[in-house]
Structure 1
Amino acid sequence: MPMHNPPHPGEIIREECLKPLDLTITGAAEGLGIHRKNLSRILNGHAGVSPDMAVRLARAFGSTPETWLKLQMAYDLSRAREKEENIRVKQFVSA
């Protein structure tokens, strides 16, 4: 069953990964091998978790890339469903 209003993965990274380890954004970005600005964009919900980032997060925090990508997909799908009534498509039916 899909989650209603799932959190952005950045919120999970901040609350479940960085805070317990007392990691700063700068320290976490260095450890992940990325620019601070890129991590900040994810943490603030302005960017999503890419497959590359999912691999980095999994290696750094002991989860799996699939977990991070599923969190991102759940978030993205929830946002799309919020706008579903505005999406106009033609339904194709096979004969």
Structure 2
Amino acid sequence: MMTRDPKRCPTHPGELLREDVIPATKRSKSEIAKLLGVSRQHLHDVLAERKPVSPEFAVRLGKLFGNDAGLWIRMQGAYDEWNASRTVDVSNIPTVAAAE
């Protein structure tokens, strides 16, 4: 099994949608937005990686593309965690262990 380079940011789900998934459908972004029941602007913001894939949006994507909402949620979570771990200063937060 191939492992991902931990120094490389995980792919934003919008990139996968923009580069692979939507083009494979041969449908316009406007049509995809309509099928999803979201505005074109909302879809555009996700595709441009300006908005995250929310759990609600993930359910819509999972239904439309025939995969599990968890796929989209896990992708977004990995992307968010990677970015947060590099931007949030935790240097003053101690690590505590459970009492025995």
- Give, in whole Å, the separation in 2 of the partners of 1:94 and 1:14: 45
CA offset at residue 94 of structure 1?
4.6
Structure 2 residue ranges without an equivalent (≥5): none
Normalised by the length of structure 2, the TM-score is 0.82
- Give, in whole Å, the separation in 1 of the partners of 2:68 and 2:62: 5
Identity across matched positions, percent = 31
CA offset at residue 35 of structure 1?
0.4
Aligned: 1:83 with 2:66: no
Correspondence list, 1:1-95, <5 A: 4-84=8-88, 86-88=89-91, 89-95=93-99
| Number of residue-to-residue matches in the alignment | 94
- Give, in whole Å, the separation in 2 of the partners of 1:59 and 1:66: 11
Structure 1 residue ranges without an equivalent (≥5): none
CA offset at residue 40 of structure 1?
0.6
Deviations 1:46-84 (A, max 9, x none): 111111111100010011011110000000011012225
- Give, in whole Å, the separation in 2 of the partners of 1:90 and 1:34: 43
What amino acid maps onto 2:65 in structure 1?
Answer: F
Instruction: Give the aligned CA root-mean-square deviation in angstroms.
Output: 1.8
Higher normalized contact order (CA 8 Å, seq sep 6+, divided by chain length): 1
